[in-house]
Amino acid sequence: MATAEIAVPDPAALSSSQQRGTQCVWCTIALTNGTARNLGPRPIDAHGTSVLWFPRCCHHCWDERGLAEWR
C-alpha cells in the first residue's frame, strides 16, 4: 500500500510539547534529537494560515506501528 504520509493524531488534540516535537505524538514520552523519529512535515492550519508541522515520535511507537519501512 502506497501511503503519502504516516497518519498522526490531530495536532489540535495534542499538547504544545507534542506540537513542538519535544514529546512523542502518541505516548507523550520526552524526546531528544537522539531518540526522536521524524514523521515528516505536513501542512496544518494555524489561525487561518497554512504552516508546516514537524511531528515526531519515539522509537518504541515507531517500531510498534511497523514504520521501519519509512526510515
* Binding footprint of Zn ion on the chain (CB under 5 A): 24, 26-27, 58, 61
Which is nearer to Zn ion, 5 or 45 (by Cβ)?
5
Which is nearer to Zn ion, 35 or 44 (by Cβ)?
35
Report the nearest approach of Zn ion to the CB of residue 48 (Å).
31
H runs (alpha helix) in 1-71: 16-20, 59-64
Which is nearer to Zn ion, 27 or 30 (by Cβ)?
27
- With residues binned 3-state (H G I as helix, E B as strand, rest as coil), the percentages for the chain, rounded to 5, are 25, 25, 50
